């Protein structure tokens, strides 16, 4: 446990909590969390997750813009259902990305857990895109990804980060319930 990891955990938790509450402040807070985790993952040789943080930075800017455009006049963020075809497409892209990045990092880097790191990275990008597009179903993918991240971070000895991701599972459940309640006629 380092001061960097503790700071990253606190900022990340705050960012996810703000996202679950559909607050615009989530975007700059999450951007700071990305910067902190980029450095941490570089230090522990989780390269796919390090790159993920840089890509999250780009996705955060996109999400910030998307949420501003998708806000009602009162500032509330409008949540939309994710079409079934988009689910299949997103998961297929996540799987293809996992294989491509896993192959690369397992052959050309000294990555600690190349296949797991790459799969979680790829599916996290899909979940982030769905979050930026304001789809409640993004939280379901976050739940699955975050559960697996807990195990990976335990293996790497990043216990505060593992704890953060366990808390993020809880926040994702809360986020899913809150977001789902805002969609008229949702029974799923």
Residue 30: band (very low, low, confident or very high) from pLDDT cuts 50, 70, 90: very high
pTM here?
0.85
- Examine residue 125 and state whether it is found in any structural domain, yes or no: yes
The DSSP H or E segment spanning 33 is helix 26-43
Residue 177 lies in a domain: yes
Which positions ≥6 away from 61 have C-beta within 8 Å? 27, 31
**Number of domains into which the chain is organized:** 1
Q: Does residue 187 fall inside a structural domain?
A: no
Polymer length of the chain: 188
Q: Looking at the domain assignment, is residue 90 inside a domain?
A: yes
More confident of the two residues 14 and 56:
14
* Closest alpha carbon to 117 in 55, 5, 41: 41
> Between these two residues, 5 and 72, which has the higher pLDDT value?
5
139 in any annotated domain: yes
**63 located within any domain:** yes
Q: What is the average pLDDT score of the chain?
A: 91
pLDDT in tens, 92-117: 999 999 999 999 999 998 888 999 98
Give the domain range for residue 72. Answer: 3-181
Per-residue pLDDT tens over the stretch 177-188: 998 988 777 765
Instruction: Give residue-wise pLDDT tens across range 113-155.
Output: 999 989 998 999 999 999 999 999 999 999 999 999 999 999 9
Sign of CA dihedral 152, 8, 170, 74: negative
CA nearest 39: which of 59, 61, 28, 54?
Answer: 54
Quote the pLDDT of residue 90: 97
Q: Give the residue from 155, 153, 183 showing the smallest Cα distance to 165.
A: 153
pLDDT for 84 beyond 70: yes
Q: For 125, what's the count of Cα atoms within 13 Å in the CB-facing half-sphere? A: 24
Flag whether 188 is in a domain: no
Does the residue 186 lie in any domain?
no
Contacts of 9 (CB under 8 A, 6+ apart): 160, 161, 163, 164
């Amino acid at each position: 446990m380092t001061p960097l990891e503790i700071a990253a955990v606190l900022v990340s938790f705050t960012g996810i909590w703000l996202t679950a509450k559909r607050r615009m402040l989530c975007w700059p807070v999450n951007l700071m969390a990305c910067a902190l985790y980029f450095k941490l993952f570089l230090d522990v040789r989780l390269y796919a997750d390090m790159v993920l943080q840089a890509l999250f930075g780009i996705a955060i800017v996109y999400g910030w813009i998307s949420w501003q455009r998708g806000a009602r006049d009162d500032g509330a963020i409008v949540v939309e259902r994710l079409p079934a075809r988009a689910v299949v497409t997103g998961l297929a892209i996540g799987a293809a990305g996992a294989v491509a990045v896993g192959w690369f990092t397992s052959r050309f880097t000294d990555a600690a857990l190349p296949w797991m790191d790459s799969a979680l990275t790829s599916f996290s990008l899909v979940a982030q895109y769905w979050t930026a597009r304001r789809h409640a179903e993004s939280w379901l993918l976050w739940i699955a990804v975050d559960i697996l991240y807990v195990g990976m971070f335990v293996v790497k000895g990043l216990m505060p980060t593992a704890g953060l991701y366990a808390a993020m599972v809880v926040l994702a459940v809360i986020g899913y319930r809150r977001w789902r309640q805002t969609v008229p006629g949702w029974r799923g």
